[in-house]
Amino acid sequence: MTRLYKNIFILTGAGISAESGLSTFRSENGLWNNHRVEDVATIEAYYRNQDFVHQFYNDMRPELFAAKPNPAHLAITKLQKEYPADNISVVTQNVDTLHEKAGNNNVYHIHGQINQIVCMHCGHVFETWGDITSEDSCPKCGTTAMLKPNIVFFGESLLYMDVVDRLLSKCDLFISVGTSGVIYPAAGFVQIAKAYGADTFEFNMETTSNNYLFDKHIYGPAGTTLPQFVDELIKAAK
């Protein structure tokens, strides 16, 4: 790698969190933590039974709060600190905060965050690791029974897409870590980056459905392969 990259776009998915002991939540049979996604991850379910939906995410928070970042997350921190790029951003599909715990900067959670709540009345977003119920009120507008986990439910628009579009248009290195390449629009980010001339690298345990869009595939645990890649990238820039 002799090219000096100026704008690096890192896309992460469930695979990077799995190495910290977190489940991928949504399994092949369509269940999310043993619940039907239609019951816990749609706006219809939220309005139908708020307390049931809240309890699902209340139960999830302790596990995600206790989770520790792994070497793959820490490698991103090292890259951001030591590589002479103008910008290195992380766009994650994960709702955990492992990137932040590892010290990553410029992190954009396009599917939301488990430790954030949004008021459906006024749009105020606040952070908490505590439990939320339908009886709680918004700390800004005071409205009761309108708080929702700031998780992008099925049918809702992804967050930060204006930022993502701008970052993709400028990136010259696109790195995908632990993503399936199945869920759109994230699965199409690599194609956009490639159209703008970016080099594309994929880190995964197995072949993905959009692997043909990547210039190089690096298979194995990201906690092992990504730190090695980062060290090589930093060394080549010196």
Phi-psi region of 46 (alpha: psi -120 to 50; beta: other; left: phi over 0): alpha
In this prediction, residue 52 carries a pLDDT of: 95
In the predicted model, what is the mean pLDDT of residues 62-81? Answer: 97
List, in sequence order, the alpha helices (H) in 83-212. Answer: 98-101, 161-170, 189-195
User: What structural domains and CATH numbers belong to the chain?
Assistant: 1-22+69-111+158-238 (3.40.50.1220), 25-66+113-151 (3.30.1600.10)
In this prediction, residue 183 carries a pLDDT of: 75
Backbone angles phi, psi at 155, to 5 degrees: 95, -15
Would you state the torsion angle of the CA atoms of residues 207, 11, 77, 18, taken in this order, to the nearest 10 degrees? -50
pLDDT tens, residue by residue, 162-215: 999 999 999 999 999 999 877 778 889 999 999 999 999 999 988 877 788 899
Neighbours of 44 (CB within 10 A): 12
pLDDT band for 54, please (50, 70, 90 cuts): very high
Active site residues: 111
Backbone angles phi, psi at 206, to 5 degrees: -150, 170
pLDDT band for 47, please (50, 70, 90 cuts): very high
165 or 34, which is more confident: 165
Instruction: Report CA-CA distances (Å) from 91 to 31, 161, 227.
Output: 24, 10, 18
pLDDT band for 72, please (50, 70, 90 cuts): very high
- Statement: residue 35 has pLDDT above 90: no
DSSP 8-state symbol, 205: S
pLDDT band for 1, please (50, 70, 90 cuts): low
In this prediction, residue 33 carries a pLDDT of: 60
Of the candidates 88, 99, 74, the residue with the CA atom closest to the CA atom of residue 224: 74
- Statement: residue 226 has pLDDT above 50: yes
Phi-psi region of 220 (alpha: psi -120 to 50; beta: other; left: phi over 0): left
pLDDT tens, residue by residue, 83-141: 999 999 999 999 999 999 999 999 999 999 999 999 999 999 999 999 999 999 999 99
- Statement: residue 30 has pLDDT above 60: no
List, in sequence order, the alpha helices (H) in the chain. Answer: 14-18, 37-40, 43-48, 50-66, 71-82, 98-101, 161-170, 189-195, 222-237
Instruction: Estimate the crossing angle of helix 222-237 against helix 71-82, to 10 degrees.
Output: 10
How far apart CA 180 and CA 209 sit, in angstroms, is 7
pLDDT tens, residue by residue, 134-158: 999 999 999 999 999 999 998 899 9
pLDDT tens, residue by residue, 2-15: 689 999 999 999 99
Backbone angles phi, psi at 216, to 5 degrees: -145, 140
Task: Report residue 104 as tokens.
Answer: 């990553």
How far apart CA 149 and CA 119 sit, in angstroms, is 9
Sheet holding 173-177, edge to edge: 107-109, 87-92, 7-12, 173-177, 199-204, 216-219
> In whole angstroms, what separates CA 102 from the centre of its chain?
14
